[in-house]
Amino acid sequence: MRTNRVWSVLLGLAIVLETRVSMAAGGESKPKPGGPGVIVYVRQDNLLVADLGRAERTATGIFAGIGVPVVFRAGVERKSNREGAVSIEMQLDAKTPAQFHAGAMAYAMPFGASGTSIHVFCDRVLNTSPDGGTGTILGHVMAHEIAHVLEGVSRHSAEGVMKARWEPPDYRQMKSGTLPFDPTDAELIHAGLEKMATQSARAEPPPR
């Protein structure tokens, strides 16, 4: 009797463990890494962003949390991209007219075929965080706009990086760690990234 009861308990634990593993494999946790990566070419022109390195590390970490490798490079996009990665151009702007995209810290053009896809208003980002943490917030702004380009749709989420407007608790979470992507956004980013990578591969001229 006691032996049978022990085997019943062990069998029950095995079933629970198998179920949890199956749920994780089914995509209810983080998407699996290893897909195509993203290269973001950043132009500053005459603007020197002191916290740019920290911002880029922050954005890279946010995407690493969903298994998407992101690399930042200075300058314009290289037309010959043989790394199999998706390329995005980003412009950092120093002075933004008050009425231009009023209230926004950046904007993206996810449907543009080429050229600069993202503009970041660094003066507005600085005004958002006069007490420090500018690089961290800038990194979240960059991640937000890169995600817009990768998702390829005009939408925002109720929580996480892709909220339309961040609130004080969101900024506090940024400074204490990172504000993550909503699971729906993670799925859309992976789907959009795979689609863009496929389109880019088809557009590449065949090797001679």
What pLDDT was estimated at residue 142? 96
What pLDDT was estimated at residue 109? 85
Residue 19 in any domain: the answer is no
Q: Decide: 61 and 14 in contact? Cβ < 8 Å.
A: no
pTM metric for this prediction: 0.76
Q: What is the mean pLDDT of the chain?
A: 77
> What's the token pair of residue 78?
């290289």
Please state the domain count of the chain.
1
Residue 16 in any domain: the answer is no
What pLDDT was estimated at residue 184? 96
Residue 17 in any domain: the answer is no
Name the percent of the chain lying above pLDDT 70.
Answer: 68
Predicted confidence (pLDDT) at residue 7 exceeds the cutoff of 50 = no
Q: Which residues contact 58 (CB under 8 A, 6 or more apart)?
A: 135, 136, 138, 139, 140, 142, 143, 178
Q: Which string of b and e fits 70-84 if b means at least 16 CB within 10 Å?
A: bebeeeebeeeeeee
Predicted confidence (pLDDT) at residue 72 exceeds the cutoff of 80 = yes
What pLDDT was estimated at residue 206? 52
Residue 178 confidence class, pLDDT cut points 50, 70, 90: confident
> Which domain range does residue 57 map to?
33-187
What pLDDT was estimated at residue 106? 92
Residue 81 in any domain: the answer is yes
Residue 6 in any domain: the answer is no
Residue 147 in any domain: the answer is yes
Whichever domain contains 113, its CATH number is 3.40.390.10
Residue 126 in any domain: the answer is yes
Residue 115 in any domain: the answer is yes
